[in-house]
Amino acid sequence: LADPYLAFWHRFVAMIRASGSDDLMTPHELWNHFVAPGINEYMGPMFELMCRDFVGRSHHPRLPFRPVRVGEWWSDDSSEQIDVVALGTKGQVLLGECKWGSVTVDDVNKLNERRDAVLKELKGVTQVYVAVFAGNAVADRQLKSRISKGEVLHFSLDDLF
């Protein structure tokens, strides 16, 4: 389902309603029993959608350009993905990794490994920006260092909303 609200309903609420538990358990018990065990798995793809939407619609001062196209990239065999690929009018490209949980320097290294495959498909690239979008605070010291040096852009939940 493309609509996040409908997807949530069918993933969690419909299951609760069908079980009849909504009349037997408190909201806290319903959350702990039905929603909490699957919320992170559900939020991963939803967070990717939120990040792409943010890049496409935002005028955030740390975004290096205003994109004309935003999407995701998959390798030919669908084994590799880049969560956010944004293209600018002057050949700028933003490549982003979205992590609802913790993000580490390993995630950035994997993103950089996939970078060449994406750039082969694009013409006229003048500048590449690497970004991480994180649902949790960045704890990885190496990643923090790369962010502070300006090698990696970082966007938190607070930035997105």
What is the Cα–Cα distance from 50 to 71, expressed in whole angstroms? Answer: 11
Task: Indicate whether 161 pLDDT > 90.
Answer: no
Q: Which two tokens stand for residue 159?
A: 């930035």
pLDDT band at 1 (very low <50, low <70, confident <90, very high): low
What is the overall mean pLDDT for the chain?
92
**What radius of gyration, in Å, describes the C-alpha atoms of the chain?**
18
What is the rounded average pLDDT of the residues 30-39? 90
**What tokens appear for 114 in the block?**
């996939």
Query: What are the beta bridge partners of residue 134?
Result: 99, 156
Q: At what angle do helices 141-148 and 105-121 cross, to 10 degrees?
A: 50
What are the tens digits of pLDDT across the range 87-141? 999 999 999 999 998 899 999 999 999 998 999 889 889 999 999 999 999 999 9
In this predicted structure, the answer to whether residue 150 has a pLDDT above a threshold of 80 is: yes
- Reduced to 3 states (helix: H, G, I; strand: E, B; else coil), residue 10 is helix
Q: What does the pLDDT average to over 43-67?
A: 92
Segment 101-116, tens digit of pLDDT: 889 999 999 999 999 8
What are the tokens at 18?
A: 């069908």
Q: Compute the average pLDDT of residues 17-26.
A: 87
pLDDT number for residue 47? 94
Name the pairing type of β-strands 81-87 and 92-99: antiparallel
The secondary structure of 31-70, three-state, reads HHHHHHHHHHHHHHHHHHHHHHHHHHHCCCCCCCCCCCEE
